[in-house]
Amino acid sequence: MTALSLTELHHRVETLHGLPSLPAILFPVLNQLSANTDDIDLQKTVQLVSHDGALSSQVLHMANSPLFGMRQRVNSLRGAALTLGVHRLRDIVTSCCLMQVSPRSSEVNAPALWEHSLACALISRNLARKLGYADPERAYLAGLIHDLGLLVNMILIPKEYTAAYKKAAATHRSLREVELEEMGLSHEITGDLLCTHWQLFDYLSEVMRRHHDVEKATLDPMLTALVNIADLLCRTGGLGYGFTEDLVVTLEEEPAWRIIGEHSPRVKYLDIACFTMEIEAYVNEVRSLVSILFNL
């Protein structure tokens, strides 16, 4: 590695010095939309979002994407909120807020990270529904944030991370494997630190920390396992990190699949090949949506 000493690198990561903050609007909106359904004031939520012009525009674009199941085009935030409902609006606002943190100019293909994260969120939710996981919206959020540690690396240790990214892309290897090799730490560690810094829920922190090491998840093992499987499906399905990995995956032999099997008898009835083909329908939509959101 690296001009940066390992100690210095760890220090920079641990202090998260230089990391942009989340858009101030995210937590009030999340609080609004996490209240009991009867107490939610959609009008207030719409007002909160509309204070941020860029965010409003992103939310509208996303709301009109077929990925979120909108049957007719909406032209206003209020229309989107009424048509989509509380859960979808929360997913969309969260996705847009997080995307705003991303560096716009980077050698490491930041849009690809968001294509991966958004696809992973959609697949985690879809898989959660098919397998009877109690909270599919939680699965969406977990899928969306699972790789935020990569974003931390991109921003805080750009030189070292870029070198690792380029090496992984050139050799078609797993990014995590090369991160560990080149930097001595991987994105799960930095993601976990970010979760603490942003005071996100413990179950999200667990997903960040354990999505490549699912057998160590204890709070919500099925959630971490769902995200692990969604991550693998994205990376084999053309929605990885912007390069092709030489990845060969037999899902039935993955520890995450066993964990899912222990929690959901429905797994036996899932036609994985058919599910994978459904996902393929996302690829172009996700790419075009992220491209629009990045260029707004």
Partner 1 sequence: MSSNITPPPRQDVNPVSYQIRDLIYGVAGIFHNDNRLAFLEDRCGRRMKELSIPNLRQYHEVLTRSAQRTNEMHLLLNEITVGETCFFRNQPQLAALQRLVLPSIVASKEKLPYKHLRIWSAGCSTGEEPYTMAMILLEEAQRFLRGFTFEIIATDLNDRSLQRCQEGIYGDYALRNVAPETLRRYFDPVAGTRDYRVRDEVRKLIKFSRVNLLDDARMLFIKSLDVIFCCNVLIYFDGASKKRVIQHFHNNLLPHSYLFLGHAESLFGVNDDFRLVHFPGAMAYIKSPVKR
Site residues (vs partner 1, CB under 8 A): 232-233, 235-238, 244-253, 271-274, 276-277
Enter the DSSP assignment of 88. Answer: H
Enter the DSSP assignment of 132. Answer: T
| Least distance from partner 1 to the Cβ atom of residue 274, Å | 5
Q: Of the two residues 189 and 286, which places its CB atom closer to partner 1 in the complex?
A: 286
Angle in degrees, CA 167, 165, 153, rounded to 5: 145
Q: Is residue 230 within 8 Å of 143, Cβ to Cβ?
A: yes
| Least distance from partner 1 to the Cβ atom of residue 241, Å | 12
Q: Of the two residues 138 and 235, which places its CB atom closer to partner 1 in the complex?
A: 235
Q: Of the two residues 48 and 178, which places its CB atom closer to partner 1 in the complex?
A: 178
| Least distance from partner 1 to the Cβ atom of residue 232, Å | 7
| Least distance from partner 1 to the Cβ atom of residue 255, Å | 16
| Least distance from partner 1 to the Cβ atom of residue 125, Å | 20
Q: Is residue 55 within 8 Å of 29, Cβ to Cβ?
A: no
For residue 139, give the nearest of 147, 149, 129 by alpha carbon.
129
Which region, left, alpha or beta, applies to residue 70 given φ > 0 means left and ψ of -120 to 50 means alpha?
beta
Q: Of the two residues 34 and 284, which places its CB atom closer to partner 1 in the complex?
A: 284
| Least distance from partner 1 to the Cβ atom of residue 174, Å | 12
Q: Of the two residues 48 and 232, which places its CB atom closer to partner 1 in the complex?
A: 232
Q: In Å, how far are 9, 37, 157 from 5, measured between CA atoms? A: 6, 50, 11
Q: Of the two residues 38 and 246, which places its CB atom closer to partner 1 in the complex?
A: 246
Q: Of the two residues 39 and 253, which places its CB atom closer to partner 1 in the complex?
A: 253
| Least distance from partner 1 to the Cβ atom of residue 149, Å | 23
The secondary structure of 34-65, three-state, reads: HCCHHHCCHHHHHHHHHCCHHHHHHHHHHHCC
CA-to-CA distance for 146 and 283, rounded, in angstroms? 19
CA-to-CA distance for 89 and 174, rounded, in angstroms? 33
Enter the DSSP assignment of 23. Answer: P
What's CA 61's distance to the chain center, in Å? 18
CA-to-CA distance for 282 and 285, rounded, in angstroms? 5
